[in-house]
Amino acid sequence: MNYLENLNKEQKEAVLYTEGPLLIFAGAGSGKTRVLTYRVAYLIEEKGVYPTNILAITFTNKAANEMKERVGGLIGNTEGMWISTFHSACVRILRQNIESLKDFKKNFVIFDTKDQETLIKECLKELNLNDKNFPIRGVATEISRAKDMLIGPDKYYDRNMHDIRKRKLADIYSLYQKKLQKNNALDFDDILNKTVELLEQNPDVLQYYRNKFRYILVDEYQDTNFSQYTLIRLLAGEHKNLCVVGDDDQSIYSWRGADIGNILNFEKDFPGAKVIKLEQNYRSTQVILDAANSVIKNNFARKSKKLWTQKSTGRLIIYHYAVDEREEADFIMNEVERVIAEERRDLGDFAILYRTNAQSRVLEEACMSHGLPYRIVGGFKFYERKEVKDIVSYLRVIQNPDEDLSLKRIINIPKRGIGNAALDALTQYAASKADSLFSALLEVDNISRVSPKAKKGIKEFVSIMSELMGIAETEKVSKLVKEVLERTGYLDELEKGEDEESRTRAENIKELLSATFEFEALNENALLPDFLEQIALMSDIDTLEEGKSALVMMTLHSAKGLEYPFVFISGMEEGVFPSQRSYFEANQMEEERRLMYVGITRAMERLYLTAAFERTLYGSTTYNTVSQFIREIPKELLIKV
């Protein structure tokens, strides 16, 4: 079999060791993801494993698609295997089995962060708490951290009995969960937690998936949180054919509950586990690796590793100290143009990385003034735009009429004469019957406090929605979206508006339509739930289209797992990177340093580091000193320009 020849000795060993727990513990660019891909191919081709017996977990949907493509390239076809993120895999399991949990129905919807905030706002109001003392984002984060640890509202209360503030938080948390359930909705964390709950409470369901997923593979294991870890242990607990790969030096999501301990304790969790280390790096030049090694060795909490390469030494790292952030951006664009002209490189070979999204604005403007096509990962939150979210809310109510949140959003869009008074009366009526808002709409004739005008509007709305629900049963999503736009008069109203704003909105709506076409081209026979799921589970990096050549910009976090010939890391200043917040805790500083390590190791051929003497960010101007991470790189690896 010839494809194994594309692997080195240790990589091959990792592919061939198919039975029992295996940890591949290795530095950046050493071929971890590649090993997983070849392993899937090998299991099927050589070991005769059924594709349906494989579960491969990647960190993003983009990574999943890439892995599918590569496996497809090796063995021809990937049908039946589950290559996906934790979230997508869990949604698939829940779609089949969630009704075993009683509280939820199969047509559940997924709430994004914005929906989550709306729901928390409602909770605060009902509990007479204000968002000064309980800032919405803070509450959301606190709930999310509890969920990462599989701590439900009751347990949260018990643990924090003596803390008045946290007791209140427990009340919010508890009400929040009730509301989710009432809406037949799950937030991101619940997608995982409900799956764990389902498997823990239903031995037969657990057994089914244990038998199904005979071989489990997990990429980027260092960034799993407790609930993901628990899920993996549940699924792999019996046959133990679990292969995880990761790098403790690249753990960068502790703020989202990731626990580096999961990878460091693998051998304890799975006694007898085989450990394979990969040390040869295939991605970067020696100069880049030396820089990465010398930065990361300043961290204490790590297992020592050293990367080497057979590649040439490579060019020195270019360091530019700019007057301000505009000059910094200009330097980058000039350099990109120069390299393209002198070395005939493609625009797509360049990536600009930064610590926070806010830094992208100036870079974006520089791209425009240089006439360089660019793409920003995460900057363009298409599905959060008002008009797009409106239409998506229609789709969500069509799928799941129990969902009050979306229903409230769209009931009077476009205007149908259903004002706040009517909405209050309906909400109260629904609450008195312990039923959803939609069911109150159906009984509107019984509610005397709703004005005749509002009643008329409601009846119109219900009749449109019933028709649309019928259409959703049989028609494709693109057709359904068209019908929503037409029957509700939404597009009409936008097109009547002559202003720029309405035009942009109408364009975005049409873009949503193209998204449905794209979706249908990739997913034959897929219906509304599949489409909504895809949107809900999209992460920033998934919005990065391939194809047309463009300069790519993204945060260091989003760049995990990726590689580019030329990489710029901008904003190399104290207080920017490392970020201000990291000064207060040693752990946090180590995490920033790992982020730097991730950034450096994205570069294949050349690395640029840039800083500015003066920087205006978030509306204020600061004068920062140069980042300690630059000082941690030996001088002989840098040239200052």
Q: Which of 147, 326, 593, 602 is catalytic?
A: 602
User: CB-hemisphere CA count at 13 Å for 612?
Assistant: 23
Whole-angstrom CA distances from 318 to 359, 384, 569, 578, 593 are: 20, 38, 11, 19, 19
Among the listed ranges 31-39, 232-240, 463-471, 627-635, the one in contact with Mg ion (CB under 5 A) is: 31-39
CB contact at 8 A, 145 and 169: no
Question: Which is the catalytic residue, given 10, 11, 33, 285?
Answer: 33
- β-bridge mates for residue 554, sequence order: 353
Q: Which is nearer to Mg ion, 26 or 232 (CB)?
A: 26
H/E/C letters for each residue in 295-364? HHCCCCCCCCCCCECCCCCCCCEEEEEEEEHHHHHHHHHHHHHHHHHHHCCCHHHEEEEECCHHHHHHHH
Work out how close the CB of 245 gets to ligand ATP at its nearest, in angstroms, rounded to a whole number: 7
Q: Which is nearer to Mg ion, 257 or 561 (CB)?
A: 561
Distance CA 436, CA 434 (A): 7
Residue 32 vs 179, nearer CB to Mg ion = 32
Distance (Å) of CA 426 to CA 148, 185, 406, 438 = 36, 21, 15, 9
168, two tokens: 């209140």
Residue 624 interacts with Mg ion (CB under 5 A): yes or no:
no
Query: Which is catalytic among the residues 11, 32, 85, 516?
Result: 32
- 472 vs 1, 225, 302, 483, 509, CA distance in Å? 48, 37, 52, 10, 19
Q: Quick check: is 616 catalytic?
A: no
Q: What does 7 bind: ligand ATP, Mg ion, none (CB cut-off 5 to 8 Å by kind)?
A: ligand ATP
Q: Tell me whether residue 9 or residue 102 sits nearer to ligand ATP (CB atom).
A: 9
Give me the sign of the Cα torsion angle 458, 460, 463, 465. Answer: negative
* Number of residues located near Mg ion, criterion CB under 5 A: 3
SS3 138: helix
The option from Mg ion, ligand ATP, none interacting with 31 (CB < 5 to 8 A, set by class) reads ligand ATP
Task: Using CB atoms within 10 Å of the CB of residue 165, give its burial: 0 to 12 exposed, 13 to 18 middle, 19+ buried.
Answer: exposed
CB of 278: closest distance to ligand ATP in angstroms? 7
**Nearest distance from C-beta of residue 410 to Mg ion, angstroms:** 41
Nearer to Mg ion, 401 or 561 (CB): 561
Q: How far is the CB of 246 from ligand ATP (least distance, A)?
A: 8
Binding interface with ligand ATP (CB under 6 A): 6-8, 11, 26, 28-34, 247, 250, 282-283, 561, 563, 601
Select 248 or 540, whichever has its Cβ closest to ligand ATP: 248
Q: Per the residue annotation, which of 10, 190, 197, 219 is the catalytic one?
A: 219
Distance in Å, CB of 65 to ligand ATP, minimum:
15
378 binds, among Mg ion, ligand ATP, none (CB under 5 to 8 A by kind): none
CB of residue 35 to ligand ATP, shortest distance in Å: 7
Three-state secondary-structure class, residue 374: strand
Burial class (CB in 10 A: 0-12, 13-18, 19+), 484: buried
**Nearer Cβ to ligand ATP (247/590):** 247
Contact in structure between 632 and 577 (CB atoms under 8 Å) = no
Q: Candidates 30, 33, 88, 262: give the one binding Mg ion (CB under 5 A).
A: 33
219 is catalytic: yes
Chain position carrying tokens 């929040």: 176
Contact stretch for Mg ion (CB under 5 A) within 26-34, 35-43, 118-126, 320-328? 26-34
- Residue 32 Cβ, how far from Mg ion at the closest point, in Å? 5
Closer to ligand ATP by CB, 58 or 478: give it.
58
Q: Which helix (H) or strand (E) holds 615?
A: strand 603-617
Quote the tokens at residue 622: 């600061």
Task: Provide the minimum distance between the beta carbon of 144 and ligand ATP in the complex, in angstroms, as a whole number.
Answer: 25
User: Of the listed 11, 224, 250, 309, which one is catalytic?
Assistant: 250
DSSP bridge pairs for 186: 110
Q: Report the DSSP beta bridge partners of residue 110.
A: 186
Among 247, 257, 355, which residue's Cα sits nearest to residue 302? 247
DSSP state of 627: P
Q: From the CB of 375, what's the least distance to Mg ion, in Å?
A: 21
The residues that bridge with 528 in the sheet, in sequence order, are none
- Written as six digits, the tokens of 16 are 């061939």
Reading the block at residue 5, the tokens are 């020849």
Contact flags string 543-562 toward Mg ion, x per CB under 5 A: ------------------x-
Select 355 or 602, whichever has its Cβ closest to Mg ion. 602
Distance CA 98, CA 105 (A): 7
Question: Closer CB to ligand ATP, residue 32 or residue 194?
Answer: 32
What's the closest the beta carbon of residue 544 comes to Mg ion, in angstroms? 16
User: Cα separation of 594 and 542, whole Å?
Assistant: 23
| Dihedral sign of CA atoms 591, 595, 600, 603 in order | positive
* Closest approach of ligand ATP to the CB of residue 458, in Å: 53
Which residue's structure tokens are 């509306």?
A: 619
Active site residue 456: no
Comparing every residue's Cβ against Mg ion, the nearest one is 33
Binding partner of 283, given ligand ATP, Mg ion, none, CB within 5-8 angstroms per partner class: ligand ATP
Residue 250 appears among annotated catalytic residues: yes
Which does residue 594 bind out of ligand ATP, Mg ion, none, counting CB within 5 to 8 angstroms by kind?
A: none
Please identify which residue in the block is written with the tokens 């979210």: 389
Can you tell me whether residue 266 is helix, strand or coil? helix
Alpha carbons 271 and 45: distance in angstroms, whole number? 29
Let me know if 220 is a catalytic residue: yes
Question: Closer to Mg ion at the Cβ: 32 or 505?
Answer: 32
Write down the catalytic residue from 187, 220, 533, 591.
Answer: 220
Q: Which residues belong to the active site?
A: 32-33, 219-220, 250, 602
Binding site for Mg ion (CB under 5 A): 32-33, 561
